[in-house]
Chain A
Amino acid sequence: MNDKIVLKYDVDSDDFTRAGEASSSVKRKLKLMGVDPDIVRKVAISLYEGEINMVIHSYGGTIEVIISQDKIEMILEDRGPGIKDIELAMRAGYSTAPDNIRSLGFGAGMGLPNIKKNTDDLKIESKVGVGTTLRMIVNIP
């Protein structure tokens, strides 16, 4: 008997055409499973923001989504420059995205704050020069 489902995705850096693939796939699966639309929305938004962050800032990484009866856990692990000051990165409007990214309409500094808003738990571990791991949880009431 399975009591949870584990989904794995690879994310390439700088590939905007593929950004959002993981969140779309997870969104589709959650709807198929009959998860409450509000939960699906929260998961899709936070996962998409996280995915875009990986595309913009990292050198690539992996996403693991664990769906169980009471929660959806998302682990986004990347290799990359890491976050120097997590507290600052959490602040709305703060961004280190370069101009070419901003000109695409990204990098408004709302990614992490938006994730925070849409998840029940968010843990960020980051090592400068090594990479960042985001652990986010959306509970299913």
Chain B
Amino acid sequence: MSEFFTSVYLKEDRCMGCINCIKRCPTQAIRVRDGKAFIIKEFCIDCGECIRICPHHAKEATYDSPEIMNNFEYKVALPAPSLYGQFNNLDDINLVLTSLKRMGFDDVYEVGSAAEIVSDLTRTYVKNNKDKWPIISTACPVIVRLIRIRFPNLIDHLLPIYAPVDLAAINARKKAMEETGIPSEKIGIIFISPCPAKVTAVKSPIGIEKSEIDGVLAMKEVYTILLPYMKKSMKEVEDIGKAGRIGVGWGSSGGEAGALLTDNYLAADGIENVIRVLDDLEDQKLEQLEFIELNACAGGCVGGVLTVENPYAAKVKLKRLRKYLPVACTHLNPVESDDAYWTKNVLYEPVFKIGQNMKDSIQKMAKVEQLNMKFPGLDCGSCGAPTCKALAEDIVRGAAKQEDCIHILRNYIHKISDELSRLDNKK
């Protein structure tokens, strides 16, 4: 598996080669080359913005088909809390959980219940690590990937605790093995995800050795399968919900930070806003905070590209569902907390670096500046790069040429035709 696995991919036959995605990408990871979009894997953080913006639906996320369930003797569903916000007029989470069992899962382990354990551990970690304030949440895999390639000085601030879904997977597997005696390889732990970044986190985890998740289903697909079961399940709803107000709250922005029982936090959502916060944090402008919750999607996980409902409507629904739940149900899910800390260090990946060493970098940077002066500065995207500056960098990296700029090309053609006509006149 390559170090830079990405779950977002291009459906080439649908791509028109327009500039919507290259303009929207927050890490400038997309170029249009030979009339088709091309994702630079090293730069991509799997935020899904290109999937959202593409008018031709040419960008897709990798996820598993529900048929993956057939590969296992015993299947456990891990529903993300955002799932509960997708349904109209839902007043009992158990209805969703029961329906998951009806659609073929043998058991359900809520990600929200693992989230409450993570909240518990985070509270302790924040208290014991004042020198690392503000601590940055790591539940959103996009954030960890973004920091790893762009904010090396903030790596130390990352919360080194399993994301709720990974902890849920460990606990669910343990529980399944204990209760059924079925060997681990015959147990399928299957996550119902609001976003493609979680797929990446499973296939190419950061901070942990290996994910315990065997499959990732798209929330939008599970939603369609669940709907008919929801009606049928209404009569015999099983009481299996084990996530409280805190766990369900993780589904939308502010839920994770709110669970820390301090006011000294910031919660930002939407990738552009997140980058602004990280930039300010890097310049030491936000030093006084204890905790920073960041979600790449607007609204938090309910805003994931694999969800169905409008994120703000889903947020309201989650709020309504949480109302009559106990604050937390962690007592129902005892866990050895040592299992929940990251085992691997996160390393800076300077993917944007243009030179081999300082001397080389100076040469190349000077060339970038020089090229940049030559370009019109319109950032029109016609060359396939998102900005004139990005084109200049591409040229210096050897991945593009000056004539890709249609304005430079036009001037060049004018010059040639002028010279030709001058030659013609001389005859």
Contact = CB atoms under 8 A, between A and B. Distances in A.
B366 A2 contact: yes
A31 B350 contact: yes
A33 B358 CA distance: 7
B221 interface: no
In terms of DSSP, what is the predominant structure of the interface of chain B?
A: helix
B394 interface: no
B75 interface: no
A34 B153 contact: no
Nearest to B149: A31
Interface string A16-60: 000010011001010111110110110011001000000000000
Nearest to A70: B358
Interface residues of B, number: 26
Contacts of A34: 350, 353-355, 357-358, 361
Interface in B340-377: 348, 350, 352-355, 357-359, 361-366, 368-369
Contacts of A3: 359, 362
B245 interface: no
B152 interface: yes
B358 A69 contact: yes
A52 to B, nearest CB: 10
Which of the listed residues A3, A4, A5, A68 has the most CB atoms from chain B within 10 Å of its own CB?
A5
Contacts of B354: 32-34
B348 A67 contact: no
B283 A23 contact: yes
Contacts of B348: 37
Contacts of A1: 363
A4 B357 CA distance: 13
A5 B362 CA distance: 7
Which of the listed residues B352, B365, B393 has the most CB atoms from chain A within 10 Å of its own CB?
B365
B239 interface: no
Contact of A32 (B283, B284, B352, B357): B352
A35 B348 CA distance: 12
B282 interface: yes
B378 to A, nearest CB: 19
A33 B150 contact: no
Contacts of A29: 365
A5 B358 contact: no
B272 interface: no
A134 interface: no
Nearest to A34: B353
Given A38-B153, A41-B153, A140-B358, A33 B282 contact: no
A69 B356 CA distance: 13
Given A32-B353, A32-B354, A69 B153 contact: no
A6 to B, nearest CB: 9
A69 B352 contact: no
Contacts of A140: 358
Contacts of A33: 353-355, 358, 361-362, 364-365
Nearest to A23: B283
A134 to B, nearest CB: 17
B356 to A, nearest CB: 8
Contacts of B366: 2, 5
B282 A41 contact: yes
B279 interface: yes
Interface in B270-304: 279, 282-285
Given A32-B393, A44-B283, A37 B369 contact: no
B358 A37 contact: no
A70 B400 CA distance: 30
A126 to B, nearest CB: 25
A32 B282 contact: no
Contacts of B362: 2-5, 33, 67-69
Given A37-B153, A69-B358, 13 more contacts: A2-B363, A3-B362, A5-B362, A23-B283, A27-B282, A31-B350, A32-B393, A33-B358, A34-B361, A35-B358, A35-B361, A41-B282, A67-B362
27 contacts: A1-B363, A2-B362, A3-B359, A4-B362, A7-B369, A32-B361, A32-B365, A32-B368, A33-B353, A33-B354, A33-B362, A34-B353, A34-B358, A35-B358, A35-B361, A37-B152, A38-B153, A40-B153, A41-B153, A41-B282, A44-B283, A45-B284, A48-B283, A68-B362, A69-B358, A69-B362, A140-B358
